[in-house]
Structure 1
Amino acid sequence: MNPRGLFQDFNPSKFLIYACLLLFSVLLPLRLDGIIQWSCWAVFSPIWLWKLLVIVGALVGAGVWARNPRYRMEGETCMEFKAMLIAVGIHLLLLTFEVLVCDRVERGAHFWLLVFMPLFFVSPVSVAACVWGFRHDRSLELEILCSVNILQFIFIALRLDRIIHWPWLVVFVPLWILMSFLCLVVLYYIVWSLLSLRSLDMVAEQRRTHVTMAIIWITIVVPLLTFEVLLVHRQKRVEARRTMRLPQKPGRNPVVWSVCPAVLKTSWQLWSSLGWCLRGRDEDTCLPEPARGCTAL
C-alpha cells in the first residue's frame, strides 16, 4: 500500500461521520445500562457535532457562492452547490428528528408519530435526491439509506405509540428485507474474492482489493445483523417481563464492531473523495474546505 496515495484519498468527511457514530454507539448503551447518568442531550453530543459541522460548512459554501458570481457560470460548480443544498436539507430534517427524540425521552410529552414526522418527510426528499443524483452521476449513500426505510420508520412509530401490537420481529420486516440484500452483497464479494484468488489474470493489488472489500463488508453486515437479532430478542423478553438485558457495554455492543470497520474504511483507498473541486482544477476556482466537505457529510 502506498502511504502517499492513502492520505491523498483519505476522506475526512466520512471519517468524521463514522467517528461520531462510533462514539455515539458507545455512549448510548452506557446510558441505557445506567453506567453513566448523562442526559439524552449529552449522549447525542457526537451527533450534534456532526450536524454543526454540516451547517457551518453549508453557511461557508453559501457565502462563497454569493460573493463569487463566476461560480454560477460553471455547470459543474452549480451542480455541486445544488448537491450541497440537498444534503443540508436532509441533515436539517434528521437534526429535527434527533432533537424531538431527546425531548421525547427527557419529557415524554409527545407522541412518537410526531417525533418521527421529520423522517416521514426526509424519505420522499431522499427519493427525489436519489433520482437527481442518478441523473447527474452523483455518489449517494445517506439518501439511499433514508429513502428505503420509510416503511420501517412508520412501523416503529406506530409500535411505540401502541397503535399496532405486532411482535417486534414483524415490525422489523422491512429491515430484514434490507439486511437480506446486504447479505447477498456480502456473499457476492466473498465469491468474487475467492475467484480473484484463483484467477491468474489479476495482479496482486487487485486480489488484495477484492479480499479487503469482502472482509470489510463481513465486519459491517454481520455485527449489524447480530445487533438487530439481539434487539428483537431483548424487546420480546422485556415485554414478557423477564429479566434479560442486551449486552450493551461498549466492548460487547455489535454496533461498535460494525462501525469500527467503517471508520477504518474511510482511510483506505477504496473511498473516492466527494468535494467541491475535481482533481486537476486550479485552487482559485475551488471553494473553501468547509464548503467542500458539506456535500460529503
Structure 2
Amino acid sequence: MSRVVVLYGGMSAEREVSLSTGVQVIAALRQAGFDVDSIDVGHDLSAVLAALTPAPDAVFNALHGRFGEDGAIQGVLDWMGIPYTHSGVRASAMAMNKQAAKAMFASAGLPIAKGRAVSLSELEAGDPLPLPYVVKPVGEGSSVGVQFVRTGDNRRAEIAQTWSFGPTALVEEYIPGRELTVGVMGDRALAVTEIRAVAGSFYDYESKYADGGSRHIIPAAVHPDIYAQAMEVAVSAHRALGCRGASRCDFRYDDTAGEPGRLVLLEINTQPGLTPTSLLPEQAAHCGVSFPELCAWMVENAACRV
C-alpha cells in the first residue's frame, strides 16, 4: 500500500474550494486502498516540510490558486524529490499566468480571444478595447476578480481604482454565446460539457461552487465540428504548455449567428476542482471512470522534476 499525503487548503482566494476538493480526494484515495495523510497548508512552510518528513510515496496536490497551482509548491516538491500529481513547475506557472498562457496558445495556432495586459492607469484613463470587454486578473483562477464592461457602463475607472490583483489586468474582447469545458486525462480528451449558470449569464465563482449554481449538459449539444474541435484544442493546449496528469480547458462558443459558429479558448486549468459540483469528475464518470479511479490514476501518474 502506497502512502500518499494530500495537500489542501492553502493561502489563496480559493482556499474553501481547495478544502472541499481535499476532503473528497482523501475519502476517494482511502476507498482506492491508499494509506492517506493530509496537510492543511498555511503560511508556515517549515511546518509543511516537517509534515512531509519522512517523505511519502507521493503527494496529491489538491491546492488551488496562488502558491498551490502556480509552480510554487511544485518547486518545493521537486527540491525534496517527492512525486506529485498534476503539472510541474513550468506548466503550472505558465497556465496560472493568463498572459503567458495566451502567448503559448497563440504560438501553437489555437483560437484565442483578442486582448492584452494593460496597466491600471491605462484602464482608468479610457477603454483599452472596443466595448464590450472583460477585465481579468492575470494570475487568479475560479473567475476571481472577473469584471465585464459593457456599452453604457461607467464602472471602468472604479474597477481600476479598486483593483487588488496586481499592477496590471488582462483585458479581452467579450465573446457572446455559450460556456464549454473539456477535461483531459493524459493525452485523452474526456468530453465536452456545456455550463449554464443558473443565477445569470456569467459562470462566476458562486455558479461554479454553490450547490445548484449551474447546470452541466454532457455531452454538450453543439455542432459536431465544434465538439470535435473543442476536444482537439483541449489536448493541444495541454501539450503546448507541457501539462501532465489532468487538466481542463474552458471555452466560449459564439453561435449567436448560427452554427457551426466560433470556438474560443479562454484558459487551461492545471488543478481542476474535485468538489461535488466539479466538472472533471463528472466528465470522467461519463467516460466510465469513477472518482476513486480518477484519483488513483492521478497518484499513479505522479512525478517530479518534469
Whether TM-score is above 0.5 comes out as no
**Larger gyration radius, structure 1 or structure 2:** 1
Bucket of the pairwise TM-score, normalised by the shorter protein: under 0.3
Higher strand share: 2
Task: Give the alignment's TM-score, normalised by structure 1.
Answer: 0.27
TM-score (norm 2): 0.27
Choose between structure 1 and 2: higher helix proportion: 1
Q: Tell me: higher relative CO, structure 1 or 2? Use CA pairs within 8 A at least 6 residues apart.
A: 1
